[in-house]
Amino acid sequence: MYLALAFVLLVPVRSFPQSDISNNIPPKHDENPIGTFTLHVDEVDLPFVVADKHHRWITNLSQDEIRLSDNGLPPESIRMFESRTGLPLRVGLIVDKSDSVSQQFTYEKDAAALFISRLMNSSQDLAFVLGFSDQPALVQDLTPDTQALAVAVRNLKLGGGTAVYDAVHFACERLSQQRDKGYTRRVLVLLTDGDDNRSELQPARIIEEALRQNVVVIVLDTNPVPSWDDPKHRTLEKLATMTGGQILPAGNKKQLGKAFEELSAQLRSYYLLAYRPSQFTRDGSFHKIQLKATRRGMHIICRKGYYAQQDAAE
């Protein structure tokens, strides 16, 4: 299977197999998005963002100011390097509605509803809302309707345990069902305190799944008093950083608003790099990516690797 975003081995997104998670799949949006390009087997796409030490997004980095390695080797060739804005988004908003978030649940819903309504461009973007406690529940399927998305968020009801990784699995599968012409950014925005006590699936499997399906996971940590050394926090951080996302503090109303403001800018402006790896073999192995900026004070955020396509057994 070829892998397509937020970011693995490339061919069009529509090459993913149909999943049976939901029998209520909305009509497909086949509009040809602006700025599409053709991707080839054995090429890797690598969307990334760049921030300075003051956490400002940098949009004028040149190709000469990056250093890229794939499994420790420089690429055979770089096919594309450009700054992009306005690529169609496919967003999954995943909201923890378990009992452990009861104190901040009301303002979280209000902030999330405002974020999704402001972020979306209804002419090209699609989003869904997934609430979870013991189990994930798709409360609004993929739609360009910002009002329907906001209403779905505000109608979420509190109660139950916390199955974070089962919810992320469900969301990845839902994004993989969406068939689009051209290139889109696949992003999951996860609001949770990370206190998982119900998931049947292990985090390592979810990270691999997100990488294979080219999905970026951005975590908004809503724990009012986060412990950076807590294993649950470190696992959430790994999920985010491995897939090309971030984990942002969102434990109070001010932090949550700042996090959503930062995401709105980040998801719209970024770089797109496409390259052909050196000594590439289609053996299904994991390839480690390292991408650094040579300009002083610049920090690149991108996924940390991908799984090579594996040739079918004869």
pLDDT at 156: 97
| pLDDT tens profile 205-263 | 999 999 999 999 999 999 988 788 899 999 999 999 999 999 999 999 999 999 999 99
Q: Which residues contact 299 (CB under 8 A, 6 or more apart)?
A: 50, 51, 52, 53, 293
What is the DSSP pairing of strand 299-301 with strand 185-192? unpaired
The residue behind tokens 């250093």 is: 67
> Average pLDDT in the 16-20 region?
31
Q: Which SS3 state, helix, strand or coil, does residue 90 take?
A: strand
CATH number of 89-266: 3.40.50.410
Q: Which SS3 state, helix, strand or coil, does residue 152 take?
A: helix
For 110, the enclosing helix (H) or strand (E) is helix 105-119
The single-letter code of the amino acid at 279 is Q
pTM of the model: 0.85
Q: Are 309 and 1 a contacting pair, CB within 8 Å?
A: yes
| pLDDT tens profile 23-72 | 333 333 333 333 444 445 689 999 999 999 988 889 999 999 999 999 99
The single-letter code of the amino acid at 8 is V
Task: Assess whether pLDDT exceeds 90 at residue 77.
Answer: yes
The residue behind tokens 């305190």 is: 193
The domain limits of the chain are 1-11+40-83+270-314, 89-266
